[in-house]
A and B are shown apart, each in its own frame.
Chain A
Amino acid sequence: MGVMRMGYAHVRVTDLAEAKAHYANTMGLYETHAEDGRVYYKGWDEWDHHSVVLEEGGVGVVKFGWKVRYSSDLDEIERRAQAFGVTVERMSRGENPEIGDGIRFTTPSEHVFEVYHEATLIGTEVGTHNPDAFPRHLVGVGVPGLDHALITAEDVKGMERFLTEVFDFYATERVQTSLEDDADYIGTWMTSNNQIHQLAVIGGPQGKLHHFAFKLGDWSEVGHAADLFSMDDVPIDVGPTRHGITRGQTVYFFDPSGNRNEVFAGGYLAYPDRPVHVWTPEQLGKGIFYHARELNDRFTTVLT
């Protein structure tokens, strides 16, 4: 049973030309395909056909794709989702360019998830034969790949149960109303493997995107990215700073349509048997922004 990773984030943008300039020239993604007002990208260290899809018209998230290890995982996840009470539909090869058969459902948080096993292999930009450490001529930030997303839901506890029961995810960190057993959940950070989080959920309106994130190597790369955002007039929301939650190093910023992006580095190794880190609301500022130790007025209100 295995979701390996968030394979793709498919988002809406109001102006495709401006969005392309951001994701290609500032972020340094590689365009792999374009059709019907949609553009497909991958990072230099990703091997599957795409990890980011831009669709012209509106803002926010269209859907997330999740890649599983075995084709039999599709049947298992379908069975589990149905057992949870979610309607699942079959997705055919080609409904998403270069993505194989799979399943599609709407989560209790009203986000569309697609689960698939096959994607066209393009290969990383350094290849597999005696590969160099990175491509010589990266553009802009030159992000290696997609990392995770944060979404909002009215029922965070219910979404944690859904992701646990259907995706076999486990929580690495939580924000709870108290330390009591009957505490309500304000946020949960979840993964299927050693990555500190693949999807996080915080309380908020249904179906909304807080941000999706690209991975970077370390503090200096995060700082360098922030420098480039100033050069390219990218609005920075917060950072560079550290998250208390995950311990990751970060900059939050906005794409030309107002979708929040993040570059994220570090984060400790997750294990299912590691005790969950629990944060309480009076320390939430420190949990989110470890240095400023207070939330800004945008963290809980600015969503697309």
Chain B
Amino acid sequence: MPNVTIDPTGEVIWLEPEETVLSGLFRAGFAYTVGCRRGGCAICKVDCLAGTFGYNRRVAESVLSADERTDGTCLSCRAVPQTDVTIRLREGDLRMVNPYLRQINERARQRAEALAAAQPASGVTSKE
């Protein structure tokens, strides 16, 4: 599954399948400035510096302009990464509000990476 790397801290968030950027960060224990969380208010935009993503719902023109659809603007509550992505938050610092979730997410990411590394080399299914 795709990872989200947060620039400039380098924090890496592991996503569930079809998970949005916003959902992934909150599930990993972080918080940042969000509004309606349903694609309507445009407050949770971040900038995507690397990687590709799509939207899991239609996004209103009033929320995302034509230019913003191509300049890396990422409406994080609706954006589902298609590859690993690197994002940069726009306003305020990334806030750690639940370190336990961060630990769980970090272990999940390590398991996924170990699984991906093991499979092509040995062809043996991981016991995890």
Residues in B with CB closer than 8 Å to A59 are: 39-40, 60, 62-63
Q: Mark B26-42, 1 if CB is under 8 A from A, else 0.
A: 00000001011111110
State A256–B37 Cα separation when bound (angstroms): 9
Does A58 contact B62, Cβ atoms closer than 8 Å?
yes
Interface size on A, residues (CB 8 A): 22
Number of chain B residues close to chain A: CB under 8 A:
16
| Residues on the B chain within 8 Å of A181, using CB | none
Q: Does the CB pair B43–A257 fall under 8 Å?
A: no
Tell me which of A60, A254, A297, A298 contacts B38 (CB under 8 A): A254
Q: Quick one: closest B residue to A253, CB to CB? A: B36
- Residues B59 and A304 in contact, CB atoms below 8 Å apart: no
Across the interface, A258 reaches (CB within 8 A) one of B33, B39, B58, B61, namely B39
A303 within 8 A of B: yes
Q: How far, in whole Å, are A254 and B40 apart by their CA atoms in the complex? A: 9
> How far, in angstroms, from A84 to B33 measured CA to CA in the complex?
41
- Is the Cβ of B38 less than 8 Å from the Cβ of A257? yes
A interface list, Cβ under 8 A from B: 12, 14-15, 57-60, 235, 237, 254-260, 297-298, 301-304
Q: List 20 A-B contacts (CB under 8 A).
A: A14-B40, A14-B58, A14-B59, A14-B60, A58-B61, A58-B62, A59-B60, A59-B62, A59-B63, A60-B62, A237-B36, A254-B40, A256-B38, A258-B37, A258-B41, A298-B35, A298-B41, A301-B35, A302-B36, A304-B62
